[in-house]
Amino acid sequence: MASEALQAALGERYDALSTSLRDRLIGFVLAAFDSLGSYRDAEAAEFLDRVLPVVLSAQQQMGQITDAYLSALLADMLGGPAAPVGVQLPEALRGVDPAEVYHRPFVTAYTALSNGKSYAQAVAEGRTRLLSITETDLQLARTHAARQSMQRGGAKFYRRELRGTKNCALCTIASTQRYHVENLMPIHPGCHCKPVPLVGNRDPGQVIDEALLREAHDAVAKGIGQSDAGGRTPDYREVIITREHGEYGPLLAVRRHEFTGPKDLPDS
């Protein structure tokens, strides 16, 4: 019980720190965007000069607190000292220059204007994209750091833990599965799940929470008129899948029967 209490306390502390970091960064980035007199190239350059150092610092901080949390968690699970030694996160988490990534909200605004939308609507669309980019990059920092930390700590498998009282169907169903530590946790824009190591080297199997999986299936089935006591009709493992996104790696997605083109992929 003491171990469970400690692990719960570690999780709560990590959640508080990561949520505070995310909220402060988003507040800063959006305020900087809102304060621009216009959204022309000169103002975009000014925005990047002001915002990028803070964004990159916050990503490194997310890596540090994730490493500290998982090191302490693994030490409690496996025995031994908690010894975070740091993680190495590249500035270009997506493999793309961050300056290019954070210029995309301006491109979104320009495109909206060229399509005949009002100035206010164009700025709002740019702002929404900026929010998605910022959130996604912090989550990428978390997942990259977690993989390094868990591999160093000797974990072989992990699960994804839901955050808060409301979670999307993608995350809920994905949380019932086990993942291999060498693989990045699949995410989607707006995802706040966190990776948690599973104790032991024995593979627990693909599904680790049958009860939650059945509940999720039943909830979704209400909307499409199908249900099954075994939670396998329809088989949502064939509906919710992992795709490889060119920039941020494994992406939780819904299998679509029609052709998927570039416009169907998140570009945050």
User: Residue 164: its pLDDT value, please?
Assistant: 63
Please report how many Cα atoms fall inside a 13 Å half-sphere around the Cα of residue 128, on the Cβ side: 11
- Lowest mean pLDDT across 31-40, 93-102, 108-117, 177-186: 177-186
Q: Is the pLDDT of residue 89 over 70?
A: yes
User: Residue 60: its pLDDT value, please?
Assistant: 96
Q: Is the pLDDT of residue 23 over 90?
A: yes
User: Residue 46: its pLDDT value, please?
Assistant: 96
User: Which are the contacts of 201, defined by CB distance < 8 A and separation ≥ 6?
Assistant: 156
Q: For residue range 146-159, list pLDDT tens digits in order.
A: 999 998 888 889 98
- On the question of a cis peptide bond just before residue 234, with omega within 30 degrees of 0, the verdict is yes
Mean pLDDT of all residues in 37-51: 95
Break the chain down into helix, strand, coil percent, rounded to 5. Answer: 55, 10, 35
The pLDDT-based confidence of 103 (bands split at 50, 70, 90) is very high
Residue 153 in contact with residue 71, Cβ under 8 Å? yes
Q: Is the pLDDT of residue 59 over 50?
A: yes
Which one, of 163, 158, 197, lies nearest residue 178 by Cα? Answer: 158
